[in-house]
Structure 1
């Protein structure tokens, strides 16, 4: 389990760099870096983080069909931390929730699970973290919870000793994995993965545009028939060596150039047109939109913003479909968390608990239009008050408070 945790560390580190906009600068020739005096070390393109944010904002867990389960979630701040679970899974491919005396959120940097290849049920979970002086670990098994410790920092697979061992009355591993994948086999995949190479290409084009802007986009002046100025050559200590060199008599910031020579001529070179870079960047942006589902108005291309709420919903249909698919994937995991929470509270078999997760509508909507439609359905007797409030996006706790008042 510890080896599996270490195996994905390099990829997780790479994903964290892209998420933070600190990925290495790609496609930059050493000559260009030297020409810029190493001032342009990295260009931050935030498309990967934008994709994660756009999906996570549409994954709002609002409750369960069993109201007592939502009370457990509120006691453990899961109404707020559920968004952290989704962001971790979308960024790193996996995130975890443990259920014991309380419900806690875990990151893929510290936790890993193992599934039975036949039943695909979780058969073990392992968490490892460091303190100032030790490396701590917990092994979660169906019948036992084992606490481990290594009296050194940085321990990976060696040096651990059993510190404590507890009986697990649940009969199942109290760890639930949130796997971001639409495939049956394989590990979870970051939602950013399809756009990473395109982000590198976008970074390259942006870097080229900035380099061209620095050196060729600004108009350059020229002069002929002008005698060059002489300047003393200095040694390493700043003292004259007795030699001279010819230099441009006009400074970079001179607003006027004057010459007494009759044959002097002055002119200006046209600055480079950067429109070609804009066109190339738009091509990459449209490819990003196609593979990610991000609408063009979010990426700053395609002209003006949608003119109405209906037009915005239409432009975001692909992104909404992706969010609905994520709700189906993560909904099963949240239902497993709920079953474990009820089993821990009531002392029952988790398999005997039936519960269903409920989500807010992931589509961008006009509040006025949605409220008007719900009021009409409620007035016609087609919807109950509780269902109407849920349709408007209120959580179970908010629904109960509204009905009570």
Structure 2
């Protein structure tokens, strides 16, 4: 039964709180659980080298495979969710993470197995539960407040990446390197149970419409086409549109100035200035906590302000914060560094809700798939910065040029954000037909 044919008695029995917000809470838990796996490799690298005598190169291969799959799997997971269901795909991904964490501590006698379990299995599991998953949930369950919903889900993803690091570092300091992995696996198991019990596919399955939808709005339908063909088709169509390239380039610069920096270089840079790893992890945790404020506020603003204006402001402010960072480093947790962590955290992933809004406006029903491909560019930018930063540090002896280059990259991203397509270029939720469409269809 849908909202359009519900009887008055059914309407009276309908709960006051729309179930869309319950879906956001469940999806947020899954995103936090998956996010906890994404940054732990840097935490356990040194113990693996000293206790297992594994080479850093072999561990680096596993991390590289993991990062590539994290980006590459995302667009295909969105199509699989459309074809086979959000709950089924999400539960499968969480089950993979639980199995991979178990195998990591019980069946990894050499670094080759680490590449298999951590690089391949965890890469697939985390790549299936990214903001593409969050966008799919938001698109299915929300007509209004969709920016706020995506902001909450984006915050959850980054919270899992950074805010849990101090807890995991304490487990590492007081126990074996296996304890943080076991903790992440247990968290994934909890999320798996919650997803199986509470996650629902679409509003119509519980007798309501999308949050904020009019009674005569069409529900989001289920796709029956081949998910791989649909994913590749969405990419080939988007590649012919200059708006895709503009957003993809902007997001590559975004990845270079966030994941590529903080996942790979912040802790080594802090160590260069005499800071302990636990202190650096605490600053990364502050970044993760500040992300909650930043991304939720960005989502709220996206519902009210032209997204391209937000992108220009967010990237410009991020660039300024990175430009001054070399002047702030010290051997301890100074107030200036804490202030940087708060400011950078607010700006870190605040670019996601407005970018998602532009994708929905331009690419319509395929927006989650297209955003998945744009996210691949994000990871390519992150990987490029991770490699370039290491080379600069090795040649120059400091990370100063890395932070300044990232500030310049943010300036370029701010310009691209300012010239991005206006949100009114296409009706939200409409069908994207590419450059060959008529102006009316767009």
Q: TM-score, normalised by structure 2?
A: 0.23
Higher RCO, Cα 8 Å, sep 6+: 2
Return the structure number with greater strand share: 1
Return the structure number with greater helix share: 2
